[in-house]
Each structure stands twice: as structure tokens, then as C-alpha cells.
Amino acid sequence: MKLYSRRSFLVRGSCLVCGLKVLSPRFASAQWPGQASTTPDAQRNALGQVRSEINWLQNATRTSASYGEQGYGNVWERFQSVRGAYAGLKQTLNPHQLTAGGNALAELDAGLDIIQEAFDNFRTDVAGGRPVNTALRDMCQVLREGSQLWLQQLNKTSTQLRIGWH
């Protein structure tokens, strides 16, 4: 009985290892990192993704204030999604757009950094004894207003750089 269980265990284990090796991402050629497309369609899609992520962040700031630490985590994830979508948008820009919009893009990057400081301020407030829900409500308000201004600047910059135009 003991030999059979050990053999069964070894067979199952080796099948699992082989399966994981075959499904490993390093073997999936579709996942190799490559250069992002700089076509107007790709730019429009990426810009739309950034706008969608901002909307999701806005929704999270409206609903998360009463959830304490869980609400903080939700808003943090949404903000990181905005950052990721914006990084994806920048990868779709062609060299001319990157050169012409260098300063404006740097300002948008700095704007995200400034907005992110609201998370540090929340932690400082809570560490100082402020109730979590009160600190979170204030942080969400700052994030909501800051992300609205940031989106306005993004829209202005995208128009100036003709992002997604044919």
C-alpha cells in the first residue's frame, strides 16, 4: 500500500511539473515583449483606456470612503491602473510626438506623482491618530479633484500632439 501511494504521488508530481513547464510563459512566443504599435488606432485605444481608468478611479473615490483600509487598497489599485494605462499610452506615441510633447508629458508624469502624495498624506494622518474613514474620505476628495484636473491636462496634451489622429 505504501509503495503504491508513493508511486502515485511521483507520477502525479511529474505530470504537474511537466504541465507547468509546457505552460510556462517563457515558451509562449505571443508574450515576448515587443515594441508597441504607434498607429493612430493603437493611440486612440490607449487613450481611451486611460480615460476609462480615470473613470474607474473616480468611481472608487466615491464609493471607497466608508470601507476603511479595504477602501484604501481599492483606490490604490485603481490609481496604479491609471499609471499603467498612461505608461501604455506613452509607448504608443511616435518619435515626433515624444519630442514635441516632451515637456507636456513630463508635466503629466509629475502630476501623477503629486496626486500619489495623497496616499502618503493618508498614511501620515492615520499614523497621527486620525480616524481611518475620515482620512480616507479626505484623500478620496483630493484624488477625485486631482484626477479631474490631470485628465483635463491629458485631453489638452492629446489634442496638441494629435494623439490618435490619422
| Model confidence band, residue 13 (pLDDT cutoffs 50, 70, 90) | low
Domain boundaries, the chain: 37-160
Cα-only R_g, the chain: 23
Its pTM stands at 0.77
Judge whether residue 2 has pLDDT over 70.
Answer: no
pLDDT 10s digits, 121-144: 999 999 999 999 999 999 999 999
pLDDT 10s digits, 63-79: 998 898 899 999 999 99
Q: Which three cell numbers stand for residue 120?
A: 502618503
37-160 CATH: 1.20.120.1730
- To the nearest 10 degrees (0 to 180), the angle between helices 68-91 and 102-127 is 170
Taking alpha carbons only, the member of 92, 120, 97, 107 closest to residue 150 is: 107
